Structure 1
Amino acid sequence: MLQSVVTAALLLAAAAHAHFTVQYPATVGEFKDDDEDQSPCGGYSPDISSIDTIDFHVGGDAVATKSTHPQTTWLYRITSDALSSNNWTQIYGIVQQSGPGDFCVDAVTLPAEYVGQKAILSIVGSGIDGTLYQCSALRFVNGTADKPSACVNGSSISASYVSDDTLSSMVSSSTVGGDDSDDSSNEPASTTTSSPSDTSTPNAAPSLHTFSTSGMGALLTTSAMVLAGFAFML
């Protein structure tokens, strides 16, 4: 019995310190969990001119992730030169995920003038263990994509648009709101609710679904704390 409790505590503690993975689009470079805190792509420096790309539809396409943290704040940004630290463009409102598990934004759109261009998509996740990075290599195409099978949302997940100065400082421009500027009016509205309010921002409300929570995320976090404390006393 005691061994089972200790094992469960260790597993939950390990999960609390795990990082995130990208389910869609496929990422570039070898995934190294220990390097995921290295900007811009988790320890990998891609050259967009020499790597294979994935079609990404400017009329609407998905980005799917899986996080084991109780809370993660997401930034989605692109660049044609991942080696440049000040050439990133934000393409979707900053979103805070509450609850561990699968999370997907299923209608990321871009201006039509991006069609034919290639870019590195950097998915940045900010959580309890700092800021983490993964990248995908994209080629922008016309049309709207079918929802990929990897685009799912866990039953314990809720999400809201937030303002985050640290993540906002990682971009120099934005397509959020429909133009390429860094005007603050293009930033998603800050909210403390689980249901983002509709705005005129094309990437900031209709495509972000709100999910009813069962409290599972809080339960797992609380259980981890209780079990870890019990294991410590043993």
Structure 2
Amino acid sequence: MTRVLLPLLALASVATAHFSLTLPPPLSDSDESEATAPCGGFSISSSTKTTDFYVGGDAIGMKNGHPQSNWLFRATTDLTAAGGWTQLFPIVMQTGLGNFCEPQIVVPGNFTGKKGIVSVVAHSPDGLLYVCSAVNFVSGTAPTRSDCKNATITANFTSDPSLTALMSGDGASAGGASSSGTPTASASASASASTSPNAAAPRVAVGNLFPGIAAGLLASVAAAVGGAAMLF
């Protein structure tokens, strides 16, 4: 009986898991409170450990316990996480369990030299889930991070009214521009690609969505995948 129960318990743990933030280090990794906005029930204090996040491009990675989730990447210099959020990248739909990492997420240059919060919000079968990281925004581009990995998944740009609504509050913006730059469903068809283990995540057709960050992102894709092989 033990041999039967152990695999069943393992499957149950995968099925009930939400997601974990692998990069940058999260404030906490507690599944139980992830549904609590804005940071999964956790806040920043004077003793909170911070990590450097490069405004010219740095990695944000997750490990997903759901077969499908939509991701919102955002940041703020409001250490209370009460507002001032900037959307950093188009909303992405991940299909498939496991790791998903965007290696070059760009932050507005005026964040440089400030402390702040990087947040990932997942829209999953369990609803909206929140995880945050306390960071120091620093100039430059991050070195290649070996722990920025992707499982065999599919990633698409998509629209998600529930996630977009989080960016419609006072002071919210998209990519450092007005919130009118929020991705729409029409982006999905031109931004579909599959990722293989440890490969860089696809970045496609970003220019039409976030003009201010397109050049750097597309350059990073070319370097990551050996040219434009994954650009559609």
Common fold: TM-score over 0.5: yes
Residue number in structure 1 paired with 2:230: none
**SS of corresponding position for 1:11:** helix
Which of the residues 177, 181, 185 maps onto 1:180? Answer: 177
Distance between the aligned counterparts of 2:25 and 2:192, measured in 1? 28
Residue number in structure 2 paired with 1:169: 165
Residue number in structure 1 paired with 2:50: 53
- What is the identity percentage for the equivalent residue pairs of Structure 1 and Structure 2? 38
TM-score (norm 2): 0.77
TM-score (norm 1): 0.76
Larger radius of gyration: 1
Unaligned runs of 5+ in 1: 212-234
Residue number in structure 1 paired with 2:13: 14
Residue number in structure 1 paired with 2:72: 75
Which of the residues 23, 38, 41 maps onto 1:40? Answer: 38
By relative contact order (CA 8 Å, sep 6+), the higher-ranking structure is 1
Q: Deviations over 1:78-99 (max 9, x none)?
A: 1223545443221111111110
CA deviation after TM superposition for structure 1 residue 10, in Å? 4.1
Aligned residues: 204
- Distance change >3 Å, CA 197–CA 80, structure 1 → 2: closer
Distance between the aligned counterparts of 1:81 and 1:158, measured in 2? 33
RMSD: 2.7
**Are the counterparts in 1 of residues 61 and 149 from structure 2 also a CA contact under 8 Å?**
yes
**Are the counterparts in 1 of residues 93 and 158 from structure 2 also a CA contact under 8 Å?**
yes
Residue number in structure 1 paired with 2:192: 194
User: Is the counterpart of residue 23 in structure 1 residue 22 in structure 2?
Assistant: yes
Q: Deviations over 1:164-184 (max 9, x none)?
A: 1100111243342xx43212x
Unaligned runs of 5+ in 2: 194-202, 226-232
